[in-house]
Amino acid sequence: MDIQGAAPAPREIDTSGLPMDQAQALVLDELRALTERAEPFAAILLMPAPPEGRTPAASASGTSTADRVRTLKLIRPGLTALCRGLAFVAPADIPAERAEAIHSGEQLWGCPTMATQDVTAARAWAGARVGG
- The reply to whether 77 falls in a domain is yes
Please give the residue range of the domain that contains residue 121: 11-49+63-129
How is 9-63 classified by DSSP, letter by letter?
PPEEEE-TTS-HHHHHHHHHHHHHHHHHTTS-EEEEEEPPPPPTTSPPPSPSSS-
pLDDT tens per residue across span 38-77: 999 999 999 988 776 544 444 455 567 788 889 999 999 9
pLDDT tens per residue across span 4-32: 555 689 999 999 999 988 999 999 999 99
- The reply to whether 3 falls in a domain is no
pLDDT at 84 over 90: yes
Specify the number of domains making up the chain.
1
The pLDDT score that the predictor gives to residue 7 is 62
- The reply to whether 122 falls in a domain is yes
- The reply to whether 80 falls in a domain is yes
pLDDT at 99 over 80: no
- The reply to whether 4 falls in a domain is no
Alpha-carbon span 6 to 129, nearest angstrom? 13
- The reply to whether 6 falls in a domain is no
- The reply to whether 75 falls in a domain is yes
